[in-house]
């Protein structure tokens, strides 16, 4: 999976987890605002993610994760937040830099490294920002 796909899935999941009603679906305008990019750019990527079977949506309607997409989004977010905990708790990064640095590192760590890091950190439940670290789906 490429970096851009992972970034979109993580962003989509960050918006999704804040929804009170998960069945409500996501709006591409919210993704555009979160990423600071144009709605047409988001629409192009959403179409790509639909073609990869990560998302489903009808034209001009809200976006929903497929099971495959939710599984990948959870994996990406889990990895990102475990790295955030590592950066804060072990390397001593301040909250102002944790997210940005984790974003850079999340694409470089293998799944095996994340698994070991998670174990080393004793399977943290919350990110440095108080957000739940989601479990990975099987």
pLDDT digits (tens, 9 = 90+) for 100-111: 999 999 989 999
> How many Cβ atoms sit within 10 Å of the Cβ of residue 16?
20
Q: What is the pLDDT of residues 33-42, one digit of tens each?
A: 998 999 999 9
Confidence of residue 1 (pLDDT cuts 50, 70, 90): low
Q: Where are the alpha helices (DSSP H) in 27-110?
A: 28-35, 39-51, 67-89, 95-105
pLDDT at 23: 87
> Domains in the chain, ordered, with CATH?
3-69 (1.10.10.10)
What's the whole-number mean pLDDT along residues 78-103?
A: 96
Q: State the chain's mean pLDDT as an integer.
A: 93
Contacts of 48-55 with C-beta under 8 Å, sequence gap 24+, read 48/5, 49/5, 49/8, 49/9, 52/5, 54/5, 54/9, 55/12
Percent of the chain whose predicted confidence (pLDDT) is above 90: 84
């Amino acid at each position: 999976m490429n970096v851009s796909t992972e970034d979109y899935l993580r962003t989509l999941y960050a918006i999704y987890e804040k929804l009170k009603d998960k069945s409500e679906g996501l709006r591409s305008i919210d993704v555009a605002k979160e990423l600071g990019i144009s709605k047409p750019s988001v629409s192009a990527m959403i179409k790509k993610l639909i073609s990869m079977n990560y998302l489903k949506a009808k034209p001009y309607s809200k976006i929903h994760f497929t099971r495959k997409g939710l599984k990948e989004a959870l994996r990406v977010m889990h990895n990102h937040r475990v790295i955030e905990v590592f950066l804060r708790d072990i390397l001593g990064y301040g909250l102002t830099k944790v997210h940005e640095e984790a974003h850079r590192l999340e694409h470089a760590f293998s799944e095996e490294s994340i698994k070991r890091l998670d174990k080393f950190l004793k399977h943290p439940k919350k990110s440095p920002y108080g957000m739940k670290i989601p479990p990975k789906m099987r």
